[in-house]
Amino acid sequence: MKLFIDTANVDDIRRANDMGIICGVTTNPSLIAKEGRDFKQVVKEITEIVDGPVSAEVISLEADKMVEEALPLAAIHKNIVIKLPMCEEGLKACKQLTAKGIKTNVTLVFSAAQALLAARAGATFVSPFLGRLDDIGMEGMNLIEEIVDIFNAQGIETEIIAASIRNPMHVTQAARLGCDIATVPMNVLLQMLKHPLTDNGIDRFLKDWEGFTSKQK
Ligand code: E4P
């Protein structure tokens, strides 16, 4: 399973990219707003850091306007993926952008039926939001499993991005289920990195080495 980072913070994107762990980025209007910077400038900077798909979301609610918004975004870089909301107008825009050879990511997917529709409309990626399902007392991971099963059974090539990730278990469970991608916030990537036994192990190796070398002097 590939890892994307879910943020619009270029410092975090650079940090994750330098570790070699990510191969794509997802943003959304909330994440862009949090940075308080020009949308297109941020997206351009991201494409200069990461050599992989970078999702940029439209905010219009009518298909023609979504396409109008998408075209200048797609022109920023060949790796731009247009993120569209899961709704009738979003699917219409998905069909039109797909016909133009522009990659799409249908977002805010909360059911397998929605994922199937997005795939049929030509989506390059679908983003089921598992954390937000967990938040309302449902089992978000069941949705990932269902979509993976359907796409495998039907030979659907649309890639599944496990989104709204809240913890490392979300990532490893999605990987176990055969999900294509997880888009992970920086704090969760850092949680994945850490294990107390690794830190203890490094300390002990260093102490043992110091003891050995000091005896040799
Ligand atoms: C996905 O592409 C979204 O940007 C993101 O995962 C939303 O996550 P949230 O539920 O933490 O806002």
Could you state, in order of their start, the residue ranges of all structural domains in the chain? 2-216
Q: For residue 112, what pLDDT is reported?
A: 98
Model pLDDT, residue 204: 97
Q: Of 2, 34, 40, 83, which one is the catalytic site residue?
A: 83
Q: What is the mean pLDDT of residues 93-120?
A: 98
Q: Is the CB of residue 7 below 6 angstroms from any atom belonging to ligand 1? A: no
Ligand 1 contact, 183 CB (< 6 A)? yes
**Burial degree of 141 (CB within 10 A; 0-12, 13-18, 19+):** buried
Q: Compute the distance from residue 135 Cα to the ligand 1 centre, in Å.
A: 13
Taking the CA of residue 183 as reference, the ligand 1 atom at the shortest distance is 6
Report pTM.
0.96
Nearest CA to ligand 1 atom 9: 164
- pLDDT attached to residue 216: 86
pLDDT digits (tens, 9 = 90+) for 144-179: 999 999 999 999 999 999 999 999 999 999 999 999
pLDDT at 124 over 80: yes
Options 3.30.70.20, 3.10.20.740, 3.90.1150.10, 3.20.20.70; which CATH number does 2-216 get? 3.20.20.70
Protein residue whose Cα sits closest to atom 12 of ligand 1: 164
Tens digits of residue pLDDT in 52-74: 999 999 999 999 999 999 999 99
pLDDT of residue 1: 98
Q: What is the pLDDT of residue 217?
A: 76
Whether 83 sits among the annotated catalytic residues: the reply is yes
Does the structure show a pLDDT above 90 at 109? Answer: yes
Residue range 189-216: mean pLDDT, rounded: 96
Q: Which of 28, 42, 59 to mutate to test the pocket of ligand 1 (most atoms within 8 A of CB)?
A: 28
With a CB cutoff of 8 Å and minimum separation 6, the contacts of 167 are 188, 191
> What are 87-103's pLDDT values in tens digits?
999 999 999 999 999 99
What is the spatial distance between Cα 82 and Cα 94, in angstroms, rounded to a whole number? 9
Mode of pairing for the β-strands spanning 159-162 and 125-128: parallel
Look at residues 176, 167, 103 and name the one whose alpha carbon lies nearest to residue 144. 176
Q: What is the pLDDT of residue 181?
A: 99
Give the span between the Cα atoms of 117 and 95, in whole angstroms: 11
The whole-number average pLDDT for the span 117-124 is 98
26 lines ligand 1 (CB under 6 A): yes
